[in-house]
Amino acid sequence: MANLKEIRSRITSVGSTMQITSAMKMVSAAKLKKAQDAITAMRPYADKLTELLQSLSATLDGDYGSVFAQQREVKNVLVVTITSNRGLCGAFNSNIIKEANKLAKEAYADKEVSFMTVGKKGHDILKKNYYVINNNNDIFDDLNFDNVAAVADRLMNLYAEGTYDKIVLVYNHFKNAATQIVKTEDFLPIKPVESENVNTLTDYIFEPSKAEIVETLIPKSLKTQLYKAIRDSFASEHGARMTAMHKATDNASELKDNLTLTYNKARQAAITNEILEIVGGAEALNN
């Protein structure tokens, strides 16, 4: 009977876990809808602004070139990793960490690599092996453009001051609730489009002036690019967590069914043994 008691305890424990994972799945599904709508609505604007910025950069000469478009010899690289503050979202965070390690040990093995983290999970792991200049774990507490713009301003200042010659973003691109694609994206310097891909450079009319356009558009575009990346990651996080909790709930349900079957078999065997003992005792008395 001790064995039956142990199985009953496991069934109760798995049932409680299943309730928790099911609740987390529903919460993530509700948050995913809002996050997905936000990134879907933002992408066309951000992509068009980036396209315009690249085309504009291709038309600028030395007098109007922005410091953010200067191509320098790459010696110091800053990798900005965007993860989550919480776990239980499958391989969402570990994929970013793997890509960050790959960049540091392979792509930029001969460079001086530093990290800036957005999200607690990435910061907790990367700080053990690399130099992390800053963590922005609280940005998800109130995710809005102004808070992200402050981070973008710091990145732009670090590049303008020459502290880093290249800044790269690593984040999860949201495709759908079940699929997140790890994306590595150059943040600075700005890369102008190739001349053969630009068909209407001479059609641009700059008003009030090239200098003012550069001064206003480039910082705004960079802030929008970072905000889009964080929004993308935010939607991916909820999609990954919803999928992970869905799988966990299914696995818990399957385990509970198996335990229930095992419990019934053990209980049936125990009852059969008791019946055999009673019958055996009765036969012995008759004899």
- Verify whether residue 72 is a known catalytic residue: no
Are 134 and 125 spatial neighbours (Cβ–Cβ below 8 Å)? no
Local confidence band at 77 (pLDDT 50, 70, 90 cut-offs) = very high
- Of the two residues 249 and 210, the one the predictor is more confident about is 249
Instruction: Spell out the domains of the chain, with CATH numbers in brackets.
Output: 21-244 (3.40.1380.10)
d(CA 22, CA 43): 31
Alpha helices (H) in 60-115, listed in sequence order: 92-102
DSSP element (H, E) containing 183: strand 179-188
pLDDT value of residue 177: 83
- Of the two residues 1 and 284, the one the predictor is more confident about is 284
How does the average pLDDT of the chain come out, rounded?
Answer: 86
d(CA 93, CA 123): 11
Are 87 and 245 spatial neighbours (Cβ–Cβ below 8 Å)? no
d(CA 190, CA 235): 26
Q: Is the peptide bond before 208 cis (omega within 30 degrees of 0)?
A: yes
**Whether the predicted pLDDT of 56 surpasses 80:** no
pLDDT value of residue 27: 92
pLDDT value of residue 194: 57
Longest pairwise C-alpha distance within the chain: 116
Q: Over the Cα atoms of the chain, what is R_g? A: 29
**Whether the predicted pLDDT of 24 surpasses 60:** yes
How many CA atoms within 13 Å lie on the side-chain side of 7?
A: 17
**Catalytic residue of the set 11, 35, 78, 89:** 89
CA geometry: angle 271, 277, 280, nearest 5 deg:
140
Burial (CB count <10 Å: 0-12, 13-18, 19+), residue 182: middle
d(CA 271, CA 217): 80
d(CA 220, CA 48): 13
Write out pLDDT tens, residues 174-204.
988 888 999 999 998 887 665 455 454 446 6
pLDDT value of residue 204: 64
